[in-house]
Amino acid sequence: MEIRSNAVAIGDVPNPNATTVTEWRIDGVAVSRGVGMGSVVMFERGNQRFERIADERPNADTEISRFRLAVDRSIEELRSLIDAADVTPNGHLTDILNIQLLILEQSSFVSNVEDEMQSARLTAESALQNVQLRYAEKMASVHDPHHREKRLDIEDVCNRIAAALSGETRKQQTTYRDFVVAAHELTPSEMVEVCRQSPAAIITERGGWTSHSSILAREFQVPMVSGVKSIETKFLGGEMVIVDGQKGRIIVDPSEISLSTYAVNTEISISDGPPSEIGGGGTQTIDGTNITIRANADSEAAFTLAKQAGADGIGLFRSESLIGKPGRIPDEDAQIRAYSQIGSAVGDQGVRIRTFDIGIERYSPNGRHTEINPSLGLRSIRLSLHERSYFRVQIRALLRAAAHHGIAIVLPMISGVGEVEEAMAMIEAERKELSLKGVEHGSPQIGAMIEVPSAIFTAREIAAKVDFLALGTNDLVQYLLAVDRDNDQVSELYQTLNPAVIRALRAVIDAAESSRKPLLICGEMAGSAFYVPLLIGLGARELSMNSNSISQIRHLISGIGLADAQSLAASVDIAETADQVEAILRKFYKEHWQTLFPSGLLDAKHR
């Protein structure tokens, strides 16, 4: 949405120059929080990457050896980027770069280009371009965000090879420091290139909340708004803008009033950063109710940060983070090492390891198998129960690592009691076999993720079978509302505050309580300040979140009272829409707990 108005409309701030000053407001999607101001610079993509005047019929052997050298050089570049990637402690940058490394080391891509050179007698540049176009066309025909990400990764890799073919390192086109960078779309490498120069903010046309670029922007803590349609026609470069990564708003040519309003808020949000006064040793509301805060962490580095912020162990370790290249499932020993390593880093507070939560495209070598509807297909626990030998290896590794470490097993995407029983029978069978063979092992607790509607309605029965429940709000919202969580075309419909979601949360929390089983809430909702008081009011007592959120959430919880949170939760019962729930929460927070929230958060849109 785009509104051209006198400045009065922005934040309802009256503008004394309203007759003379006109500012543009463009609404997009907030994908990385924070506010940035600066002059727009259009992102410059290196041109002429694929152009090389060459013989009409180049020598295939020469071209292939040029190409191989360029691939080797690109692999080296990616490796050194990975080595230098510790600036993003959550490890997402490393994960993304590893995906690209695997594309290069994956023979089908490299050999496809080589085949093209040979069969069509093309230069390495032309063959590379043809193969890239074929991949892009194939992926564009599938409406799946994972394919879109893969297309960007391939594009990124091709750019790198093309630069190496031309004998250049990918060079920096422009200086982005303190500028607002505008681009149609940024590949992960481009994003790293931009973010490393500390831009004021980033605006793009494409890229939803879960796209690699948005993840990287959050990791580098650069404010970003995406979903800006026809961005190239909106900006020429040089415009002064404010990018509000809380509200998902861009103000072009802002008035003095808007500039000073935002300047004040930015100062506040910098100075009131993460609260440091709360030490470790638990988190309590002001009336003394204990709330356990755990970490969503897949690496020791992420857990170290979480521990410094006061986390009690790991609530969600996504074991699929151990799978690099599609089909390369780590063997039993490698899994034991990984689980033991994280188990010993976490110590007594324990780590809840979720079994592989992947689809068939990541399970099959080279990602060859795809499904029309992967979110509803053979994935997660369904895949584990279908491909039993792969699941057995994981179970054995978990049981063996649990001999010496506080490990619990979490079963993802459970849709009913039957799957829980089947998985538990497999776990028990493996345990017996290890006993018979005299192999050391433990008896870890077992939990079920509640994230699909059928599990919500049978949560009581599921709870009776397991040691604990884990509520995955990311998928619960997706499946309950039938909204693809990664599709920015429907991001408006992805409503965490939809009354149906709140009723589902209440039902699951009640089921756990009446079954006397612990319930851990993970997913983005549990680490977001706007939702946490509501969750506590609904009865949540264990939350698991990303390391970056922990200090802020602990600070918030230690300032609220349970009775207030409960009456807040009761007050949303009358709401019929997400907007109404949001309005009730915002009003309550402003009246009761305004100072507990980071500045700007209560004025931002929350769905």
Give the C-alpha separation, 192 to 186, whole Å: 9
Residue 226 contact partner, candidates ligand PEP, Mg ion, none, CB within 5 to 8 A by sort of partner: none
Per rule CB under 6 A, is residue 474 in the interface with ligand PEP? yes
Q: Which stretch binds ligand PEP (CB under 6 A): 279-287, 425-433, 467-475, 486-494?
A: 467-475
Per rule CB under 6 A, is residue 145 in the interface with ligand PEP? no
Per rule CB under 6 A, is residue 486 in the interface with ligand PEP? no
Identify whether the C-beta of residue 188 lies closer than 8 Å to the C-beta of residue 213: yes
Nearer to Mg ion, 250 or 455 (CB): 455
- Spell 369-389 as b/e; 16+ CB within 10 A means b: bbeeebbebbbbbbbbbebee
Q: Which stretch binds ligand PEP (CB under 6 A): 189-197, 305-313, 473-481, 552-560?
A: 473-481
Element (H, E) at 222: none
Per rule CB under 6 A, is residue 523 in the interface with ligand PEP? yes
- 546 alpha carbon, distance to own chain's centre: 10
Residue choice 116, 185, 430, 475 for contact with Mg ion (CB under 5 A) = 475
Q: Following DSSP, what letter does each residue of 83-141 receive, concatenated?
A: HTGGGSTTSHHHHHHHHHHHHHHSHHHHHHHHHHHHHHT--HHHHHHHHHHHHHHHHHT
Residue choice 160, 218, 234, 318 for contact with ligand PEP (CB under 6 A) = 318
CB atoms within 10 A of CB 175: 10
Nearer to ligand PEP, 187 or 473 (CB): 473
Q: How far is the CB of 474 from ligand PEP (least distance, A)?
A: 3
Residue choice 208, 472, 527, 598 for contact with ligand PEP (CB under 6 A) = 472
User: Can you tell me whether residue 395 is helix, strand or coil?
Assistant: helix
User: Can you tell me whether residue 478 is helix, strand or coil?
Assistant: helix
Give the C-alpha separation, 334 to 97, whole Å: 21
Binding mask 406-445 for Mg ion (x = CB under 5 A): ----------------------------------------
Per rule CB under 6 A, is residue 254 in the interface with ligand PEP? no
Per rule CB under 6 A, is residue 402 in the interface with ligand PEP? no
Identify whether the C-beta of residue 60 lies closer than 8 Å to the C-beta of residue 117: yes
Question: DSSP code of 77?
Answer: H
Residue choice 125, 361, 475, 564 for contact with ligand PEP (CB under 6 A) = 475
Q: How far is the CB of 412 from ligand PEP (least distance, A)?
A: 7
Q: How far is the CB of 405 from ligand PEP (least distance, A)?
A: 22
On the 0-12 / 13-18 / 19+ scale of CB atoms within 10 A, 197 is: middle
Q: Which of residues 432-451 bind ligand PEP (CB under 6 A)?
A: 451
Which parts of this chain interact with ligand PEP (CB under 6 A)? 316, 318, 357, 451, 472-475, 522-523
